[in-house]
Chain A
Amino acid sequence: MSVKLMVVAGPPSAGKTSVIRQMIRHLRETEKVAFLKIDVVAAFENEELEDEFGIPTKKVYSGDMCPDHMSIMVIRDALEWAESTGSTVLICESAGLCLRCTPYFTNSLGICVMSSLSGTHAPLKMAPMIGLSDICIVTKTDLISQAEKEVFRECIRQVSPDMDIVETNAIQGTGMKYLFRRVDSAPVLDSMDDLELRGIPPLGVCTICIGKKSVGWQNHCGVLRRLDDDENIYRGE
């Protein structure tokens, strides 16, 4: 196979789709792009992008599962699908539930999108999502003060000192040339064997995950935690 995989991660309403629009506009001159959207209960981006650009798109609803967990499950199938449509690039957009992970893969481009409106401490709260990405796009910077712009950048640097940071108003497309440079040099994935997670996401497999509604550790099995515990404990069935 020969596909460039690009994962776009970030909280809801950060501007991921606006960034992806700019990427598609740039990429379609030289590549054939396919788009996969993973969301919990509702998503419209696939129809919008299909209408606008006439590219193959697909949508997966993850329901009770975290969309990032879902993306780990379906990514190989999705790459096969993209290849079957003759595409050379697969862009996968996913908004995780807790924003502490978002699976970036080896031999792909990991793009983290955050809104500068999310507050100056947001980068510290979403540290793993930033730390494992290749490039961090900060959107809506036209709306905040110079002071906060600088502080926001400093917080990202605290998480990841050498991070490639692009500040943008993604709707206007300002600053996008620096993202395009990374997009153009993204690695080509030749084999599924080269595809692995970059880090271990905090995915809990437990009785809450399978739909049990009772609360308190007393009522659950799997990975548990009591208030004063320093570490997780495990209890089998």
Chain B
Amino acid sequence: MNKAIITVVGQDTVGIIARVCTHLSNSHVNVLDISQTIIDGFFNMMMIVDYSDSTVPFADLAEQLATLGDEIGVNVRCQREEIFTKMHRI
């Protein structure tokens, strides 16, 4: 399994999760977990996804999601999981 973390930060609006999930579904990326909270007044969502069967290369997926974020008006990042696990787990 190849896990990535997608984070969405910005003003809350209707359909953010739907649009991100639709994009992931079209690319055959499986969502494993979703959590969301408000930090410093901003909508924060984190998704853990499995991109093993993704139909597009990881770099393209990350770029497409960033572009989608621009369209919605939020900041979307897609990063491989290891940067977080290495930093926060011994």
A, B: real partners:
no
